[in-house]
Structure 1
Amino acid sequence: MYQKNLVQFLKNKFCSPYKVGGKQVTRNVYAEKCDVARATLTRITNGDGYDVPISTIYKLCTFEDITVKDFFTEFSKWLKSREDV
């Protein structure tokens, strides 16, 4: 269940919609800019409980200019809010 929640959080945070410089872009453009394979972004977008490598999370965070620590802090808060429902 943890993996599925992580994928959902990644999808909401980075892939829904894809944005570069505040402008909506295609998955292909986003993949190229953040150096993450398009197929990986597809797995995240499909939300199939994909086992996301930490290297992918690192690349997304680096591209989006947030620390991995802040990402996981935000994820923990998001996960807690879902448990409270």
Structure 2
Amino acid sequence: MARAKDEQQEHLENELLSFIYVEFIAPIKVNGIKPTIRQYEEITSIGRTTIEKLIKSQGYDVPISTFSKICQYANISLLEFFSKFEEYQKEIRRIEKD
């Protein structure tokens, strides 16, 4: 039973990482080009190692400080962030059913 919970947790973490990448990392462009890790760091104030983990989109348990930096960069509240994540999850579920 504990293993199923671990898989559920891992799935949730991976969905969260995918959401962060799709909504907050991938849209960033510098002169129309995908930025370097260093440029991401300068733009978002998120450390390079963390940016690399967010881009990898697997197996990273995102700390609250990173959520805070994402929200600060995107000029949204944590409530807005998690509301958007919930909508993202609903859309993923809808697509999976089709």
TM-score by length of 1: 0.84
Q: Quick one: higher RCO (CA 8 Å, sep 6+), 1 or 2?
A: 1
Q: Does 1:71 align with 2:81?
A: yes
Deviates more, 1:28-37 or 1:67-76: 28-37
- In terms of Rg, which structure is larger? 2
Residue 63 of structure 1, CA deviation: 1.3
Instruction: Supply the RMSD in Å over aligned alpha carbons.
Output: 1.9
Structure 2: 5+ residue runs without aligned partners?
1-10
Q: Does 1:27 align with 2:37?
A: yes
**Kindly tell me: are residues 64 and 23 of structure 1, through their superposed partners in 2, closer, same or farther at Cα, counting changes over 3 Å?**
farther
* Cα pair 2:13 2:58 within 8 Å, conserved: no
Name whichever structure is richer in strand by fraction: 1
TM-score by length of 2: 0.74
> Aligned pair count?
84
* Cα pair 1:15 1:45 within 8 Å, conserved: yes
Name whichever structure is richer in helix by fraction: 2
Structure 1: 5+ residue runs without aligned partners?
none
